[in-house]
Amino acid sequence: MNRATSISICVLLSLPSFAMAQSYTPQESATVGAASTTLLGYQDITMDTRVFQVAWRFPEGLMGAQPVVVWSHGGAAGQTNATNVLPEWAAKVVQAGFVSVSIAHTGRDQSSREALCTELGIPLDTPSPSDLDCQNFKHLNFDRPFDIRRALNFVEDLALAEPDRVDASRIVVAGHSSGSGGTLSVAGAARQFAAIHSDLDDPRPLAFMAFSPQGPGVEGMFDTDHLQPDHSWENITRPVLVGTGAGDNSCTPRFSCDNGSPPRTRRIPFQRMPAGDKYLMYIRDVQAAHVMFGMEVSACMAQVDPARCMEFEDWLGSSAHAFLDAYLRDNAAALQWLDGELQLLTGGDVEWSSK
């Protein structure tokens, strides 16, 4: 071995491990097709017809039926235009070869809210503003899982109409913020809404992605208690990717958190789920705000160095793409990447846990 060769080997060995780690490259690459929309409806618990919009986008340039990602958004007020639902996330998965279906969870008017509250046993008003009443009940937390199940029916119909483009046997449901609550409900999380104990497990999705999920005590999620061993996440047995971070705080006000969720509780769903194909990516940088986990890169760049926001985008995108390829395409290389490559890539800026 000559001296030049030995020097190059020494330099390679001296590089930090994260210098050799790489972002994940999706198995497929496609262009994003134009969005199509339609209205869906179903009879809800009040016996009224609930109507909401979905939007779907096909990956262009691929042969054969492709897997599907169904998106559920956060926010208490709801949305009516499904093309505006997590558009950056939708585009990312389509570019990686997946069909994207986005749900616009429509808000309720006053009479519809009151009818729902009556069915759930929630008083229309209470003497104390600190008590749960119909005015401060976030009704979409109850509606989201039912909307998702109706959207899954739509995916099956879409596969019948487009059998060469849509594979309804390979579905991931994904959500951000309160949309993660709906996502995990469909995954098997139990929730308690006043007098109603809700178990809305749906067997059709193969796996789930929950960005900025809620912890116990928020939006019907609950933990164990004295002589009460059950909790919301004990029956989630399918693969789940959880994404959150040190800046993922929606508490108002921050120090007492009368409303919202702090970062520490957003980790709890991962901690409570049974082991087996579960992953947690936790960005340690407080500059990665709540909206970043909804892939709102432009909102991040308005407050943070754009280069740093692009790193956050890469870490989130790589994690999601590897997870989707692993569990919807049985990609062994993707599964291997999920075995801690991100923590190496970021030099420790991301805490990566799996069980």
Q: What is the pLDDT of residues 68-127, one digit of tens each?
A: 999 999 998 899 999 999 999 999 999 999 999 999 999 999 999 999 999 988 888 775
Task: Look at residue 131 in the predicted model and tell me its pLDDT.
Answer: 55
Positions in the chain whose pLDDT score sits under 50: 1-19, 130
**pTM, entire model:** 0.91
Is residue 108 within 8 A of residue 139, CB to CB? The reply is yes
User: What does the block give as tokens for 127?
Assistant: 């003497």
In sequence order, what E strands does the chain have? 31-32, 36-43, 49-57, 59-60, 66-72, 99-104, 166-176, 190-193, 196-199, 207-211, 240-245, 278-283, 350-354
Strands 190-193 and 196-199, bridge-based pairing:
antiparallel
What's phi and psi for 271, nearest 5 deg? -65, -35
Choose among 151, 66, 52: nearest CA to 101: 151
CATH number assigned to the domain with residue range 35-354, chosen from the 4 options 3.60.70.12, 3.10.20.80, 3.40.50.1820, 3.20.20.20? 3.40.50.1820
State the Cα–Cα distance between residues 117 and 93, nearest whole angstrom. 37
Task: Look at residue 5 in the predicted model and tell me its pLDDT.
Answer: 40
Task: Look at residue 195 in the predicted model and tell me its pLDDT.
Answer: 64
* DSSP letter string, 106-155: PPP-HHHHHHHHHHHT--S--SSTTS--TTT--THHHHHHHHHHHHHHHH
Task: Look at residue 248 in the predicted model and tell me its pLDDT.
Answer: 95
- Parse the chain into domains and list their residue ranges: 35-354
Choose among 139, 272, 262: nearest CA to 194: 139
